[in-house]
Amino acid sequence: MSTRQSGQAIVVMVGAILLAVVMVATIVDGGNVLAQQRVAQNGVDAAAEAGAVLLAERLSGASDPSGGWDVNINARIAQVAAANNVTVRAAYYTDICGIPLRSDGTAAITGNLSEDFSTALQVGNSSHILPGGTATAPDCPNRLVGPVAGVLVLADKTVGTYVARAIGISSFKVTTRATAVAGYLQGYCDSSQGNYCALLPIAFPVDVISCDGQHNPVDTGQSWTFNVVYKIPLCSTSSGNVGYLDWTPKAGGTGEVVCSILTADNPAIDLPSWQYVPAAGNSNGGGGACNMTIEDALRTYDGQVVLAPQFDLTCNPKNGDGDPSSSNPAIITAPNYGCPAGDLGGNGSNIWYRMPSFAFLELCAPAVAGCDGLHGAYIQGNNSAQCDTGNGATACLVAKFKQIMATGTVGAGVGSGTGSKAVGVQLIK
């Protein structure tokens, strides 16, 4: 072979090697970029929802936080983004339709109805204001905006390469966005009609529970089915069972439960958050200032849809460990979810339950179809005839699960009158 031919072969070989590197890089690094795109999307979704949750608190009537809403929304978005390893490029305020807003509350859109970020009010703006204006009734299809109700987050994630480094490409940038909005929940407790679900200070597991031979609660691992009448067993007083909440821990305990059932006095509650449970199971205390048993107080809601917290974890801090943290991202970060290290789980009363959702729960009543003449509550511990479905239960609540509220906040004193509403948060795009 001539020298010239040898040189040509080397060029061809080098070209083939480079082509092979490019092909392998496309497969390996391209696949990694696609996987990281999903990770980045989850991160920016969480950041947008975190900002919208604070707007939900504002909508539900919470007091202005220290530093103002804009400062706190900006800090919350940045905190959650950093915890998910994404970099926020910009965040903007939107109405409930997801349309970016200017500082005066008008739509930040161009003549062809596309988004105009150059005029939109950013989260973390220099004046630390929210969009103003007098808009009240949005019309999403016609791009007529309502008041501020959400945030739109644009974010990036830098993804390092493996094979492509050989051809001088050390990283790729993944760009993504998410919009989350807050609004009044409708349909089960119709806020537009002035009807409000009472938020009961009783907590249910996220999964169906049963009782074992020793009368301890057993998590079946199965979710509740909607529109099915359940006899929800109240086993022993151990954790993992239906629990009674004290909104002002740790003052009052079960003595406050009856009054809290009759007249909602809860604080604004974010999802998820830790709440204090002074008693679980079939404890039928009460009396006190409201002079009624827990069972009789619950029966005042027979036949009605109520809001009830659901729990998935318990926390029993040791002396000196401090209460669990409901701050984000601690409350959503494994393995402790804001509970002090070594304190996750626990038995007995006077422990903390983590609430990731609320259930719209329709309590039974003697006249309600499918309830077999039963009331909504049998919790004195002597009602085997009404409650034992083969699990040995002597106490139970009888109800249907109508719907689940998985993100958002519930306003202070929900169920106590005008202005007390449940607010949900939803990703819209």
pLDDT-based confidence at 192, cuts 50/70/90?
Answer: very low
- Would you place residue 287 in the very low, low, confident or very high pLDDT band (cuts 50, 70, 90)? low
Structure confidence at residue 418 (pLDDT): 39
**Mean of the pLDDT values across residues 340-355?**
84
Domain boundaries, the chain: 3-183, 191-427
So what's the pLDDT on residue 126? 94
Nearest to 246 by CA among 270, 266, 226: 266
Q: What is the pLDDT of residue 260?
A: 86
pLDDT digits (tens, 9 = 90+) for 221-264: 888 899 999 998 888 766 667 888 888 777 666 677 888 888 87
For the chain, percent of residues with pLDDT exceeding 90: 27
Indicate the DSSP class of residue 332.
G
- 115 or 29, which is more confident: 115
pLDDT in tens, 320-332: 888 999 887 889 8
- Inter-residue contact 260 to 269 (CB < 8 Å): no
On the question of a cis peptide bond just before residue 231, with omega within 30 degrees of 0, the verdict is no
Measured over the CA atoms of residue 64, residue 195, residue 94 and residue 39, the dihedral's sign is: positive
Report which DSSP code applies to 207.
Answer: E
Q: How far is CA 91 from CA 58, 252, 288, 292, in A?
A: 18, 43, 50, 50
Q: How confident is the model at residue 420 (pLDDT cuts 50, 70, 90)?
A: very low
Distance CA 152, CA 140 (A): 16
Question: Which band of pLDDT confidence, cut at 50, 70 and 90, is reported for residue 106?
Answer: very high
- Above pLDDT 70, what percent of the chain? 76
pLDDT score of 305:
86
Give the confidence band of 194 by pLDDT, cuts at 50, 70, 90: very low
User: Are 414 and 265 spatial neighbours (Cβ–Cβ below 8 Å)?
Assistant: no
Which of 5-9, 24-28, 288-292, 296-300 is modeled with the greatest confidence?
A: 296-300
Matching residue, tokens 């707007």: 55
In order, the DSSP letters of 129-170 are: ----S-----BTTTTB--S--EEEEEEEEEEE-SSGGGGT--
User: What pLDDT band is residue 113 in, cutting at 50, 70 and 90?
Assistant: confident
Could you tell me the pLDDT band of residue 299, with boundaries at 50, 70 and 90?
very high
What average pLDDT is seen over the chain? 80
pLDDT tens column, 135-177: 777 777 677 888 899 999 999 887 676 655 666 677 667 789 9
* Listed residue (271, 384, 283) closest to 328, CA to CA: 271
Q: Which region holds residue 71: left if phi is over 0, alpha if psi is between -120 and 50, else beta?
A: alpha
Q: What number is the average pLDDT over the span 8-29? A: 58
pLDDT in tens, 52-82: 989 988 877 778 889 999 999 999 999 999 9
